[in-house]
Amino acid sequence: MENKLIGVISLGCDKNRVDTEKMLAVLEQKHRLTNDIEKAQIIIINTCAFLQSARKEAVEEIFSAADYKKGGSLEKLIITGCLPQKYAGEMFKELKEVDAFLGISDYDRILDVIDELYAKGERINDVGLPTTEFGIKRRLTTGGYAYLKIADGCDNHCTYCLIPKIRGKYRSVKFDALIEEARLLGDVRELILVAQDTSRYGADLTPKRTLVDLIRALSMLDNVKGIRLLYCYPENITDELIREFQFNPKLMRYIDIPLQHASDRILKLMNRKGTGEGYLSLIERIKNEVYGIAIRSTFIAGFPTETEEDFNTLVDFLQKAKLFNAGFFKYSREEGTAAYNLDGQIKESVKTRRLKKLYSVQKKVVKENGKALIGKTFKVCAEGFNSDELIYFGRAYFNAPDIDGKIKFFSSEEVTPGEFYDVRITGVFGYDLYGERI
């Protein structure tokens, strides 16, 4: 079969992005890739199904792509990832516009599936069970930084979450495979470790490994300049990990710890293992032992039965914790989760009000944090130029891509994206810091 022009759309989280990049590496062995979806002969959409909003986005993207079959160049439409993994049976019957479905562990079948579609002309449902990771070669879609998915699946069974039912049990990627994958990425100024629960890494391997073992091995790679940690569950943050922040110059002083709430009653209903006081103690300890560390977290507003007292406990927690940044989400009632059947579901209007309040409280904390940085100088990796504000922008160690603010700075000389510059902070506006190049 002649090689085809293929366009790929990746939806969802950074873990999905890694899967997409591995699939791109497989596809370009035989086909051509394009960013112009309108010209693609094959469109592949890698989907997310974590929340109703993600599923809605995926379905809308599918219908939008399917329109290119009407008088356009599109010949085949393929859907991969979480959505078919969870709903392949229903989707195969209902979405006749789609030619093939593959799950979260089927990306290595993509070339065979394409061949089969053209050879037989029949629709394909080839969704298998969640298994180990495939391949270590990737076609990067990020500039200067890269994500490294160190595990898949989850064993925590939080009552609001579908991940265990979509992606299966927690499965650490083999240690040596991760080192080789990171080596093959080439020079990356920032390697971002991700998983559903990053801090659990290695507990299921034989012999057992730890996240610190992995960090130390990755730090030995000359092509990796820095390492950032996302999604470290609080109960798995060890003394050894905290010490690693103190002594490993490549481990960036940044950690994302998803806490979700601070009311002990709500945490128990969520099947979370911590307490509000325990979380505060952990945050204070990390701050005290790792100078200048930026701690980020995420929280859910409007979980079933959440009272005003529970909510105010969370507000009080945010004011005390003074997290460098935080993300907030309205509780999404997902069929198939334990929380779906709980009495005391919260009205949407109440969830919206509480969400706005959380953002308002955290915005004040961010402003206080930012003011404390005024006058200080940081290494900033330039990313581009904002033509509206006539100012350069970039990130320091306390800014993760996409989820945190940026540092916007003036420079009398030309700035090259990807290069580091000393920037003195002069002000704060919203979630962004302003400064001047020294």
Q: What value does the mean pLDDT take over residues 15-20?
A: 94
Task: Give the DSSP per-residue string, 289-326.
Answer: HSTT-EEEEEEEE--TT--HHHHHHHHHHHHHH--SEE
Residue 230 · residue 221 · CB < 8 Å? no
The predicted pLDDT at position 435 comes to 96
The predicted pLDDT at position 144 comes to 87
The predicted pLDDT at position 1 comes to 63
Look up residue 337 and give its two tokens.
């989760």
pLDDT higher than 90, residue 135: no
pLDDT higher than 90, residue 121: no
Omega into 164 within 30° of 0, i.e. cis? Answer: no
What is the 8-class DSSP label of residue 345? P
The predicted pLDDT at position 128 comes to 86
Quote the CA–CA distance of 437 and 415 in Å, as a whole number.
10
pLDDT higher than 70, residue 419: yes
Nearest to 273 by CA among 301, 236, 307, 306: 236
Residue 76 · residue 117 · CB < 8 Å? yes
pLDDT higher than 80, residue 133: no
- pLDDT tens profile 382-403: 999 998 888 999 999 999 999 9
- pLDDT tens profile 40-58: 999 999 999 888 899 999 9
The predicted pLDDT at position 131 comes to 80
- pLDDT tens profile 171-205: 999 999 999 999 999 999 999 999 999 999 999 99
Q: What value does the mean pLDDT take over residues 421-434?
A: 95
Q: Tokens 């109440």 appear where?
A: 350
Separation in Å, CA 89 to CA 107, 127, 128, 324 = 18, 9, 12, 43
Q: What value does the mean pLDDT take over residues 276-287?
A: 98
Structural domains of the chain, with CATH: 5-125 (3.40.50.12160), 145-370 (3.80.30.20), 377-437 (2.40.50.140)
What's the pLDDT band for 145 if we cut at 50, 70, 90? very high
pLDDT higher than 90, residue 2: no
**CA triple 351-356-359, angle to 5 deg:** 125
The predicted pLDDT at position 51 comes to 87
